[in-house]
């Protein structure tokens, strides 16, 4: 590891995210955004796909979501499956057995609603077993165009290294970003920082020496880099 120069430019979120957007261009999109591009973008589909992705790499979870939706594309169809059938479709997603039960319960609830669609209601999404703020906000952001911020471990790590927030957990980072992040970036920040965190500002030894933000990033907490 070579010593890197300190930042010479002030950190500006507009500049940072524009540079991140260019840097992640060659990499695959985050799973939920890739699904939306494939037209799987209803609130129900986005919520279920996010549940399948929990603690599971995008490379694994994306094909599993596609497999489930090929068999059953909406709540009524998923509710018509047994939890065991859902389990067989979403394995080997982490905790697939428990997720299958939870997805079946959500599908049955949604299928019984008027119109059989999950409404754009973050509180209702968060009330389901197995759904936390990360998935509810992502589904609200992508499926409902709501200015919801979804913070996973990549978003949390990167914005804290930037010093844009100073927070000890993804939940605290989400609350801090809700106060500071301009509305126009609230959905985009997840789409940008998930691939950026996976491929450039990685958990161990981030690629600082070739990072396009090197001149403006204070690299808070980075002790080893490439
Ligand atoms: S890779 Fe290094 S320079 Fe780039 S954003 Fe992450 S910590 Fe900052």
| 127-150: pLDDT as tens digits | 999 999 999 999 999 999 999 999
Question: Cα(136) to centroid of ligand 1, in Å?
Answer: 28
| 188-205: pLDDT as tens digits | 999 999 999 999 999 999
**Residue 211 in contact with ligand 1 by CB distance below 6 A:** yes
**Residue 52 in contact with ligand 1 by CB distance below 6 A:** no
Question: Cα(188) to centroid of ligand 1, in Å?
Answer: 19
pLDDT number for residue 2 = 62
CB 9 within 8 A of CB 162: no
Question: Cα(156) to centroid of ligand 1, in Å?
Answer: 13
**Residue 151 in contact with ligand 1 by CB distance below 6 A:** no
**Residue 198 in contact with ligand 1 by CB distance below 6 A:** no
Cα–Cα–Cα angle for 62, 53, 129, rounded to 5 degrees: 135
Please report which helix (H) or strand (E) contains residue 189, including its range.
helix 188-199
- Pocket mutation for ligand 1, best pick of 2, 15, 22, 208 (most atoms within 8 Å of C-beta): 208
Instruction: Read off the pLDDT band of 4 (50, 70, 90).
Output: confident
Within a 13 Å sphere around the CA of 25, how many CA atoms are in the beta-carbon half? 6
Percent of the chain with pLDDT over 70: 99
Q: Which long-range contacts (CB under 8 A, 24 or more apart) does 126-129 make?
A: 128/47, 128/102, 129/102, 129/105
**Residue 20 in contact with ligand 1 by CB distance below 6 A:** no
Question: Cα(94) to centroid of ligand 1, in Å?
Answer: 29
| 110-125: pLDDT as tens digits | 999 999 999 999 999 9
Cα–Cα–Cα angle for 96, 98, 101, rounded to 5 degrees: 105
- Mean pLDDT estimate for the chain: 96
Question: Cα(198) to centroid of ligand 1, in Å?
Answer: 12
- Pocket mutation for ligand 1, best pick of 9, 225, 226 (most atoms within 8 Å of C-beta): 225
**5 pLDDT higher than 90:** no
Question: Which atom of ligand 1 is found nearest the CA of 16?
Answer: 5
Range 177-191 average pLDDT: 95
Residue with the two structure tokens 């989400």 = 174
Residues that are catalytic: 134
Question: Which atom of ligand 1 is found nearest the CA of 214?
Answer: 3
Environment class of 182 (CB within 10 Å of its CB; exposed 0-12, middle 13-18, buried 19+): exposed
């Amino acid at each position: 590891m070579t010593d890197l120069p300190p930042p010479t430019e002030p950190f500006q979120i507009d500049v940072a995210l524009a540079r991140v957007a260019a840097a992640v261009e060659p990499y695959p999109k985050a799973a939920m955004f890739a699904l939306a591009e494939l037209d799987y973008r209803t609130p129900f589909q986005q919520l279920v796909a996010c549940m399948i992705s929990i603690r599971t790499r995008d490379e694994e979870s994306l094909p599993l979501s596609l497999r489930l939706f090929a068999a059953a594309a909406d709540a009524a169809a998923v509710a018509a499956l047994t939890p065991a059938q859902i389990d067989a479709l979403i394995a080997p997603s982490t905790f697939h057995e428990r997720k299958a039960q939870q997805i079946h319960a959500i599908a049955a609830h949604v299928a019984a609603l008027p119109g059989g669609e999950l409404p754009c209601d973050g509180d209702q999404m968060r009330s389901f077993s197995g759904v936390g703020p990360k998935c509810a906000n992502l589904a609200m952001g992508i499926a409902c165009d709501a200015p919801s911020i979804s913070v996973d471990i990549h978003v949390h790590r990167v914005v804290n290294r930037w010093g844009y927030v100073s927070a000890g957990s993804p939940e605290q980072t989400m609350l801090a970003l809700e106060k500071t992040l301009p509305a126009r970036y609230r959905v985009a920040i997840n789409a940008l920082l998930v691939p950026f965190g996976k491929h450039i500002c990685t958990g161990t030894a981030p690629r600082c020496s070739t990072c396009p933000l090197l001149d403006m990033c204070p690299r808070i907490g980075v002790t080893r880099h490439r």
